[in-house]
Amino acid sequence: MLIKKPDGFKPSEITPEAVYLQRRAFIRGAGLGLGAMLLPGMGMAAIDANVPVRDITRYTGARQASTLVPDWLHKKVSQAQPSRHLAQEAVTPWDIVTTYNNYYEFGTDKGDPAENASDFRTDPWQVEIAGQAEITGSFNLEDILKPHDLEERIYRLRCVEAWSMVVPWIGFPLADLIKRFKPTSKAKYVRFETLFDPKQMPGQRSRFAALDYPYREGLRIDEAMNELAFVGVGLYGNAMPPQNGAPLRLVLPWKYGFKSIKSIVKIEFLERRPVSSWERSNPKEYGFYANVNPQVSHPRWSQASERRLPTSLFAPNRRPTLMFNGYGDEVAHLYAGMNLRNDY
């Protein structure tokens, strides 16, 4: 497929920032929770804007997933502000987003991560910055996050397995993080690496693991600098649950979910394109770019449609898949002239 004209989502799918802020001010003034009137099908409890997020339930059914999160991170997450990136769709219920996961480090069944990651320790946590950048070294998580104001973005998440969710993430633009470390002109790509800790991550101990660990993913530098690329540190108004990639992960809504690497411990700026973990494991099925594309089927199933969770036998909730997951206006220009049947 040759990209000729960007595809995008409709303006109606995004709430303008001014409108959202007006709603937020009104809701707070009325003593209601942030977003109580924002999305259809999403109820929220009353909150006080000054109460830390860990002490409230902002979304129906949401709760703090881990007691191991440091106080400073709770406080920072509680100060997150709404952004203009708010998909006007009902969010997927908390209990599904936090129990239906692909995180092979904790097991291959969808429920394994929630079961096996409950005691996952993310404090202390360090991130190594390496490669073609003026500023490199190891940094504590607090130092990584401290300069950044957090915001909430509601994104669609499309798995390569043809199911999808809508998730309210908390974090900050990846571009802002990259700029801090001043990549040089030789930095054409960015590689990310997940924690390798077999004692905490039972999937890394398996002799039958589908992947070589640690898990690695990569982006072109212009992809990483795109406005949609996001560093996630929370969801549903709480710090990131372990099974969803605590303490920090990528969120790349126009790509299949496996590109949004979890529990990041290393960011490296490279001159040459890296090989990602799934690409190395099975290059015929998983490419480097992994852009959501309904016109290019997975070798074992179609990508033309998806199941929007929650689903059931009698309510499959199937819908057509959108090119770039509906974010073409923001990202299609990155792939102009490329044949996305070959560069999948």
Determine the Cα–Cα distance for residues 329 and 6; give it in Å rounded to an integer.
Answer: 6
* Coil, strand or helix at 72: helix
Q: 197 exposed, middle or buried (CB, 10 Å; 0-12, 13-18, 19+)?
A: middle
Q: What angle do CA 108, 284, 318 make, to 5 degrees?
A: 60
Rg (alpha carbons) of the chain, rounded to whole number: 19
Binding-site residues, please? 101, 104-105, 159, 194, 244, 249, 260-262
CA distances from 305 to 65, 244, 332 (A): 31, 24, 20
Rounded to a whole number of angstroms, the distance between the first and last alpha carbons of the chain is 10
Handedness of CA 216, 222, 228, 234 (dihedral sign): positive
What tokens were used for 260? 């949004």
**Element (H or E) spanning 78, and its range?**
helix 71-78
What tokens were used for 102? 């692909």
Q: For residue 285, report the phi and psi dihedrals to the nearest 5 degrees.
A: -110, -25
Determine the Cα–Cα distance for residues 58 and 60; give it in Å rounded to an integer.
Answer: 7
- The neighbour count for residue 316, using CB atoms within 10 Å, is 11
Nearest Cα to Cα of residue 68 among 265, 264, 245, 239: 239
Token pair 């400073």 in the structure block, residue: 72
Whether the Cβ atoms of residue 244 and residue 222 lie closer than 8 Å to each other: no
**Element (H or E) spanning 113, and its range?**
helix 112-116
Binding-site residues for Mo-molybdopterin, please? 101, 104-105, 159, 194, 244, 249, 260-262
